[in-house]
Structure 1
Amino acid sequence: AEDEEGAESADDVNSDSGPEEEDDGPDSSDEEVDEESEDDAGADVDTLADDDDDESKLQEIDKVLGTKEKKTRGVSVFPPEPKRKGREPKDEYAGGDTSDEEDIRNTVGNIPMHWYDEYKHVGYDWDAKRIVKAKQGDAIDDFLQRMEDPNFWRTVRDPQTGQKVILSDEDIALVKRIMAGRNPDAEYDDHEPWIDWFTSEVEKMPIRNIPDSKRSFLPSRVERQKIGKMVNALKMGWAKTRAEQERLKAARKGPKFYMLWETDHGKEEMRRIHDHVTAPKRPLPHHAESYNPPPEYLFNENEMAEWKRHEDEPWKRKLHFVPQQFKSLREVPAYDKFVKERFIRCLDLYLCPRGKRTRVTVGPEYLIPKLPSPRDLQPFPTMQNLIYKGHTDMVRSISVEPLGEYLVTGSDDHTVKIWEISTARCIRTIPTGDIVRSVAWCPNAKIPLVAVASGKRVLLINPKVGDHLLVKKMDDLLAEAPRTDTLDNERVRTAVQWGEVTEEDHKLGVRIAITHFREVKQVAWHGRGDYFATVMPDAANRSVMIHQLSKRRSQLPFSKSKGLVQCVLFHPVKPCLFVATQRHVRVYDLVKQELLKKLFPSCKWISSIAIHPKGDNLLVATYEKKVMWFDLDLSTKPYQQLRLHNSAVRNVAFHLRYPLFASASDDRSVIVSHGMVYNDLLQNPLIVPLRRLEHHDRVNDFAVFDVVFHPTQPWLFSSGADHTVRLYT
């Protein structure tokens, strides 16, 4: 019975809201629905909603409800508007929530998510609870998902939450369009027909031919108001001519007078003192001003006499009063100069001008010069490559062949060894019979000779390596002594003698032996290879001697002793000789035979010196742990002092091709530094420490004795007290 009543009520409603009523349009009369029919329809809906089998009845009931709801609100049903051609506007809220209403679980914001790599969570949700990272499977789990999950290829990982998200078909289509280089919007038409509003063809008729408006023929209302204001100004006398306006401007620019001490009408800035400087405070009392000062602050007889002598010149006194001693504070009398001091204080405050001193605060980081990175200054030796073993005692001196293929070393085991650099193989060993203090290979590649200072003798040895033609030619030249008519003076003949060698020494390679009257410490070659100098520190005014190989002559360049000579060095370009004593370095001109300049290293004991290949800069090593760089064109004092070592610096050396120099010390270290000398004389040399090499062992407080660079490669050789020679590359 209820079903039949519901069907009848539905038919009644449908008959009331049929298509004929909808076609009437807005002029049709609105129908009201009584409460009884509405209640009957609601009951019918509840009854039929429970019946899932009769779908046709449910559709009719839905139509009834829609029609009755519109009528109860007083809204008439209009016919639907015709659809426009083209694309329909897309509803922003049709697909669900917008991006602003998106459910963002992770509230950490737009930050790099790799910050949470070391944590077990990836952020925090809206309740401030940690979002635990999802479990990441291994390679087996990944393979199983790849094989079993059909959506594996469209699954991505959300970096905010770590969860796996399956991309929809729309997302896949969007990704494909982006990868194909097309517009992401699928509904956008790239080839939409273009409407050419303005053509390039000249038309006969104008495009816009609108007749002029009525307003264009009427006078302007705004202009009428402006003219009215101008007429009113003329009537009232407010309008001024140009001459009158210029006179008013001139009157305004004239001198202004104001009351100097006016406070009622003047501005506040006129009464204010700008940049007020506070008065300096009085100095705090010293111990001498105490009523019971210590005895050392009281004047004795001499100090009292000195104080009285400056009675007419009180500004020369140390103190403006005489310290006195009292047993208690109540015994202190009144200060008789109190009023005078206060008066002088007032005069100072009143008459003396005050000024502000700007204190410049410079941080320690600004005082440190900005140096380039060592990586930008390569190549330079950084690691130990070869070790030359064979000596049984300390290796004091080393030297490299000008072509860079062989190395000569001198040791305290009374031997000189010649090595092949590339293989560290000892080619020849030459016994000398005494401690070898210095060895020097001739810098001229055409003269294969090695000068060895052993005891009181200087041996010129043919190493018999390299070009055999040069070796044979050198033996032929040294076989016979040249004939000279000049005789050496008595001082030279008593100091040195050129002599022949024995057959045994000749077989070993010794060609000439020069015997000195004192022990020889150093041998230094001239750049051309014909001259070499020797140093005998104990020989006083005959400590430096210069020998000529071609004539087999010797000469004494100095007649007086200027100090204990440590080492000598020839200038690479000019005819100059550097002589280093204990505390000074003197530069002599060998042609003019005069002193050019005297360098002051400000040290107590110089150990060695080295000259730059260009000849404008000098390195001085001292036993006081310092290495000093001298710019000979700049000053006689060191340009820069390097305190890089912790013990005495034994030797320094420059590289012939690269801007490198090295220093060897008894602290087991060899420090390689960058020393760039520019052609511009206004630019200072650039000095940058690069690498500290510590591979030698310390023996009896001695470590590294000598250091020398390879002539062509950025390699470094060092000899030490551990009986070895090491190559750094």
Structure 2
Amino acid sequence: MPKVESSDIMKKKDSQSSNFQFRESEDDYEDYESSGESDAGETESSGHEDLSNTESDDGLEDEDGSEPSEAAEESDSSEDEVAPRNTVGDIPLWFYRDEKHIGYDIAGKKIKKKERESKLDSFLANVDDSRNWAKLYDELEDEEIELTKEEIRHVHRLIQGKAPHGEFDPYAPYVDWFKWDDAKHPLSNAPEPKRRFIPSKWEAKMVLRYIAAIRAGLLKPDEPKEEPNFYLLWGNESTSAERHLSYIPAPKPKLPGHEESYNPSPEFIPTQEEINSYQLMDEEDRPKFIPKSISSLRAIPAYENAVKDSFERCLDLYLCPRVRKKRLNIDPESLKPKLPSRRDLRPYPVTCYLEYRGHKGAVMSISVEASGQWIASGSTDGTIRIWEVETGRCLKVWEFGETVRSVSWNPLPELPILAVSV
């Protein structure tokens, strides 16, 4: 076994415990030793002395042929191979987020959490110790870990998007391991297998599954995307749909009917007096064609207003714009007001309690006396009757001989006067 001197171990420990400053470049680090005047320096120096004494004893044991020291083994081994010191197990740590302990050890005892520094203490530690920024809190082990120079260098390279190890070359030249100098034949001259020329059975089964899923509605195929139609601003040609987008066909001329028959019935042929009366009518109301009786079809003369009618139609097509009007198909029943149901109008009288019989015609007007005891009514039979409201007895009848239009009592109860209009 190789011997490990205490001075070498001391140098390694000093190099790990020494402070350094992190620069912009990845290799720009500045090591410096802590001053011996501070208390921290005194503590570290005393700790190094104890360590050197222990290591010197271990070195003596190595010379005697005994097993190497634990410090040497720790320096040779990687930190990743060290077993976890906190034996809480592989459990989510957020289970104990609100508890005072972090878990249980092998014996079943609670492992208490270490007291964390407050934000004020952490700020003061950053001010006092320039190396405090390189310390991290390990939640699993419940302790602070200080990053080494190599770890900080790896982090810096990862931030820059590089490989963590500086020895790795991502742009190494390609090494072609096969030599093509004397190659006269391909690497494999075996014939093509038959399966490359036969449709795959497994693919056919998958196609059948997809077809069944599409028919069952479990799988919906992608709908074709609509391609955007861009308008060619400076183009000369356009499609027929664009040319006739707002085209409205012209109304066709009216076809001749039976009134323009060349041999109509005699009752449809107007007389000379009727023709003279047409001249006195307005031009809009005047009939445009006067039927005449012609012996044969060959004897029909030319239409004298043919050119005029064609010219007026051309003017209408040129000057009169055509507009599409949408017709509203409205149900006439929907325009009627909806009357409420008779059930919704209750309570209302449904039984005849009292009838006032005596008038032979329709009653045109009624009026109630101010006291509410008497009621006057006027009818089309020319009579006025005075009724008692409570009993329906007719007290008085006046005959006027004409239809009574209106009757009205005096609103003053002291003067029971009745006004009548016929």
Alignment TM class, shorter chain as reference: 0.3 to 0.5
Between 1 and 2, higher relative CO (CA 8 Å, sep ≥ 6) is seen in: 1
Q: Provide the TM-score with structure 2 as the length reference.
A: 0.37
More strand by proportion, 1 or 2? 1
| Bigger Rg, structure 1 or 2 | 2
